Amino acid sequence: MYFKVLFMTRKTDPLNTLSDIKSMMEKSSRFLSLSGLSGIGMGIIALAAAFSANNIIKGASRFSKDGSYPSYPEYMTKSLLILAVATLIIALAVGLFFTIKKAKKLRLPLLDNTSRRMLINLFIPLLAGGIYLLKLLDIGYVELLTPSCLIFYGLALIHASKYTLGDIRYLGIIEIILGLFNLFWVSFGLWFWAIGFGLAHIMYGMILWNKYDKVD
Amino acid sequence: MKNPISQLNKVFDSRVRLGIMSALLVNEDVNFNQLKELTEVTDGNLASHIKTLELNGYIKVKKGFIGRKTNTTYMATTAGEKAFRAHLDGLEKMIQNMK
């Protein structure tokens, strides 16, 4: 017995060893630099975008003859598209900014196997969704734009969650549920979009920040 | 009672070898530079640990090319995976015994 105790304290502390193993497994297979602040920033931008989209739609319906849904005037579709692209670019930039910051802090490489795998797995459903959305827009099924947006984004998050912080999975489920509900209340599309991309991101960003980033 | 220490594998005593096996268990293949970043040791040190694992038949080496540069990747063998899992079980049992 004495020998065993001596042996253990000197050579192997199994608890330390196990946590060491766990951290190395995660470090080598998951992209851990995702920042909670990215989520909060992207959520705020999404809310601002939903607010401006609402203004554009309101402004346009004043000029259309009856203002009925979904007979949008041409210029409105155009300005909404520009808004959508601008939102995407700004949101990606903000998300990237905080993630780069966190990667530097954790002293983890930004571009390696883990980030590459996460991005590939995130963008497969996203790209398919993007093309699908363009086609919807093309044939004029505007009511389906926001539910499809939410559902594809949710699927992408669930798909990517195996390669980054696992919590993202639940955000994906929330987005899908919102998207499905949106299918049955299509006239509230902008509201669902604002909740899914705005509020859910902010809420999730706070949870992630609280869980992973707050220390020191 | 069987002493759980007997389940521990001497080969996995070193932190570096533990790190290499951890990475290989959750990734299909890992190359030298990735292992170096993970374990934070020098080239020579890492190479000798890899050699030990290879001699024990726990990992296999695959030499390939990216363009003209050599790219050597490592994979865990079935025997290696088994041995590592047994080692983990041993560690777990030791923790339970301490409680």
Its ipTM equals: 0.74
pLDDT at A76: 79
pLDDT at B2: 58
Give the Å distances, CA to CA, from A158 to A125, A135, A136, A145, A164: 10, 24, 23, 20, 10
Q: Which residues of A touch B9 (CB under 8 A)?
A: none
Q: What is the pLDDT of residues B34-49, one digit of tens each?
A: 888 888 899 999 999 9
Q: What is the pTM of this model?
A: 0.76
CA distance B13 to A12: 8
CA distance B39 to B18: 9
The answer to whether residue B25 scores a pLDDT higher than 50 is: yes
B28 touches chain A (CB under 8 A): no
- Cβ <8 Å between B37 and A11: no
When the pLDDT of each residue in chain A is averaged and rounded to a whole number, the result is 85
pLDDT at A64: 53
Q: Which residues of B touch A29 (CB under 8 A)?
A: 23, 26-27
Q: Which residues of A touch B25 (CB under 8 A)?
A: 25
Q: How far is B18 from chain A (nearest CA, A)?
A: 7
pLDDT at A65: 55
A27 touches chain B (CB under 8 A): yes
pLDDT at A123: 93
The answer to whether residue A157 scores a pLDDT higher than 90 is: yes
Distance between the two ends of chain B, CA-based, in angstroms? 16
Task: Between A72 and A48, name the one with better pLDDT.
Answer: A48
* Helix, strand, coil fractions of chain A, as percent rounded to 5: 85, 0, 15
CA distance A132 to A61: 27
- Cβ <8 Å between B23 and A24: yes
CA distance A202 to A136: 28
